[in-house]
Amino acid sequence: MRTWEQAAEPEDVPMPSAEDDEDASVGSTDHGGNGAGKPSTAGDGGPSRRKRGGKADAPLISHPRLLTTCKGFAEEVTSADLSQDGTLAVAVSSDRTVRLFPGLQHAGTKTPLPAPLMANIPLDHGTACSLASNGRNLIVATAASRQVLAFTLEPKVVVKRTFPSSGAAAHTGKICAALIAPNSKYIVTVGSELDTTVKLWSLSGDLIASENTKQVEQFGASISVDSRLVAIACTSAVSAQRAVAPRHGQVPIFELVATSTAAEPTGLRRVLCVGGHTRGVTSVSFAKDCVHLGIASLDCEWSVVRTDVRYDLKVEAKEAARGVAPHRTPFSRIALSPFAHRLVGATATGISIVDVAKAARSLKADAYVLQTIEAHGHGAIRALVYSTDGMRVLSGGEDGRLRLWRVEDDDGKMGKL
């Protein structure tokens, strides 16, 4: 990112010593505080270990699709992101740390993974994080101060900037999403808890624009890979005249306003509002084709819509596929593959792999749900990110672990439409 200092090449980090507790995974390696790169040896289904101090450790998880487990957090993972080349993961936790896990291109092989990098967030913890396209800069939204911290790898993780620079809060409520645009030209933050604003920032931390979605609640956001559209997961009240208005799910979509394609953005303009769900939308995810948008809702359904419409002529987004989550348990997070072939949805403790094309042709869940995996032992899944090659998905949960999964079996489909 141009306004932050160019970081030097990261130095080799010494491998930490192995400790007592280990995660288990088939064909995977541990990546974290318990010996990075050490092959897992614990068996499937064993009893949960206990850390020093008596706190129950995360249960052992074993699955053929599990490539590696990244650990080191003492508490739940609140947000995570994956670099565009799929080699680096970043996550924040309520234990007041941010950690980066490099070398993920070797996950699932015998090559040892490097030790993670860590930085403390003084007197606060992160609620959202995002990696820049260069993989050397990242931002973290904080819970108490509701500000955004800009970090740089040089080679340690250090804070370069805090914004707003005045010391005031960026939002009046918790920041549920903080995203660096794929073209690294702007930052978007999304409020929650009665703060229904979406704010556009420059890389230097200057506020460019603020728009109110006029919804009841906001849960997250996604930016298209061409950095042109921003979609917000929302709950909306249908009728303000009723004492208790029914709440439906809507997805406001904003377009970046700029004088030219290469120019810096100057504002946000609402161009679409995608409906179709009878309850609140919990998560949205743009595919890398800049066309398809995945939507998850509390009505236990998910949908994929096309956004390549003439919204200047008031044309609505077109639905490409729709399905029901397994066991009618709503997805809390979703991730859409680069060309919308697969959709991965997260429930309370598991992830489901869905074939979008089959869902467009069949109404039976058994026909399009390819597999459901118990991904995290206890607690909700807080983050779900698809890799750019379409082969892997990163999940982060309340058990304090990041797990990398292989969700596409055919190597010939890597990165292809």
The pLDDT, as a whole number, for residue 264 is 84
* Radius of gyration in angstroms for the set of CA atoms belonging to the chain, rounded to a whole number: 21
3-state secondary structure 206-221: CEEEEEECCCCEEEEE
Question: Mean pLDDT, the chain, as a whole number?
Answer: 82
Say if CB 90 and CB 129 are below 8 A apart.
Answer: yes
- pTM of the model as a whole: 0.82
**232: pLDDT strictly greater than 70:** yes
User: What burial class does residue 314 get, using C-beta atoms within 10 Å of its C-beta: 0-12 exposed, 13-18 middle, 19+ buried?
Assistant: exposed
Helix/strand/coil for 412: helix
The pLDDT, as a whole number, for residue 30 is 54
The pLDDT, as a whole number, for residue 361 is 85
Residues in contact with 212: Cβ distance below 8 Å, sequence separation at least 6, in sequence order: 196, 197, 198
* Domain 29-46+55-408, CATH: 2.130.10.10
What is the pairing mode between strands 66-71 and 77-82?
unpaired
Which whole number is the average pLDDT over 113-123? 92
Q: Which of 54-63, 204-213, 225-234 has the lowest mean pLDDT?
A: 54-63
The pLDDT, as a whole number, for residue 292 is 95
Q: Which of 164-168, 175-179, 278-282, 308-312 has the highest mean pLDDT?
A: 175-179
pLDDT top residue among 62 and 4: 62
**22: pLDDT strictly greater than 60:** no
Q: Phi and psi for 357 in degrees, rounded to 5?
A: -65, -40
DSSP H or E stretch at residue 68? strand 66-71
> Of the candidates 152, 280, 139, which has an alpha carbon nearest to the alpha carbon of residue 216?
280
Say if CB 150 and CB 126 are below 8 A apart.
Answer: no
Distance, in Å, from the CA atom of 331 to the CA atom of 351, rounded to the nearest integer, reads: 9
Is residue 408 very low, low, confident or very high in pLDDT (cuts 50, 70, 90)? confident
Q: Which of 13-17, 55-59, 104-108, 338-342 has the lowest mean pLDDT?
A: 13-17
**12: pLDDT strictly greater than 50:** no
Is residue 236 very low, low, confident or very high in pLDDT (cuts 50, 70, 90)? confident
- List the 175-180 sheet strands across, edge first: 175-180, 187-191, 197-201, 207-212
Say if CB 28 and CB 21 are below 8 A apart.
Answer: no
The pLDDT, as a whole number, for residue 29 is 46
Q: Which of 40-54, 67-81, 279-293 has the lowest mean pLDDT?
A: 40-54
**40: pLDDT strictly greater than 70:** no
Helix/strand/coil for 271: strand
Question: Quick one: what percent of the chain has pLDDT higher than 90?
Answer: 54
Q: Which of 9-23, 106-120, 293-307, 354-368 has the lowest mean pLDDT?
A: 9-23
pLDDT top residue among 197 and 244: 197
Distance, in Å, from the CA atom of 347 to the CA atom of 294, rounded to the nearest integer, reads: 15
Helix/strand/coil for 115: coil
**pLDDT tens digits for 325-339?**
988 889 999 999 999
Distance, in Å, from the CA atom of 283 to the CA atom of 334, rounded to the nearest integer, reads: 6
Is residue 155 very low, low, confident or very high in pLDDT (cuts 50, 70, 90)? confident
pLDDT top residue among 254 and 347: 254
Distance, in Å, from the CA atom of 386 to the CA atom of 102, rounded to the nearest integer, reads: 16
Distance, in Å, from the CA atom of 97 to the CA atom of 116, rounded to the nearest integer, reads: 12
The pLDDT, as a whole number, for residue 356 is 93
